Amino acid sequence: MTQTSDNVTWLTQAAYDQLKAELEHLSGPARAEIVAKIEEARQEGDLKENAGYHAAREDQGKLELRIRQLNQILETAKVGEAPADTGVVAPGMVVTIAFDGDPDDTMTFLLGSREGVSSDLDTYSPQSPLGRGVDGKKKGEKATYELPNGKQASVTVLDVKPYQG
């Protein structure tokens, strides 16, 4: 589980270990495999019309981007435990809300970052409009936030509990 606050990324030990292992794989075997594919495609001749070469170069770009992302996350990571069960919405908490105007229209999500989350749970950043709106609220409290179209939306916090991975 990951939580981002300004330039610090909070990770559980399991999430940190998972990201570190991914980085090691991408930096070693995966990078070597891409380089081999590029070299193989280069041997085929004319690079302008060589689809295999261009695909391998694109894969290399994606791989290098992910390596940079992982390095940045791990450089700013602080390893800690899941947040305490305080009943207050904060990064690392699973929040259930009801949209005002339709109490049957509910949504459950993790307030945090997608990195290290290995579930189908929707994730909203604490910096997102909804994340900023519900941050600090308790069960039963209303939160208002601004939609991308500039209109205001209101929700009621139905439940708050720590993410357990």
Report if pTM > 0.85.
no
Please tell me the distance from the alpha carbon of residue 94 to that of residue 103, in angstroms, as a whole number: 19
- Report the SS3 class of residue 90: coil
Per-domain boundaries in the chain: 2-79, 93-162
Residue of 56, 72, 62, 53 whose CA lies nearest to 113: 72
**What pLDDT, on a 0 to 100 scale, did the predictor assign at position 4?**
43
Res 67: pLDDT: 95
The 8-class DSSP code of residue 28 comes to: I
Low-confidence residues of the chain, pLDDT below 50?
A: 1-6
Q: In the prediction, which pLDDT does 9 show?
A: 67
Contact 155, 133 (CB under 8 A): yes
Q: What is the pLDDT of residues 44-86, one digit of tens each?
A: 877 778 888 889 999 999 999 999 999 988 888 777 666 677 8
CATH no. of 2-79: 1.10.287.180
pLDDT at 23: 95
Looking only at the bridges linking them, the beta strands covering 152-162 and 93-99 are antiparallel
From 3.40.50.2300, 3.40.50.450, 3.40.309.10, 3.10.50.30, which CATH number describes the 93-162 domain? 3.10.50.30
Radius of gyration over alpha carbons of the chain, in Å? 21
What the block records as the tokens of 14 is 């399991």
Strands 8-11 and 77-79: parallel
Q: Do domains 2-79 and 93-162 have the same CATH topology?
A: no
Residue 21 CB: number of other CB atoms within 10 A? 10
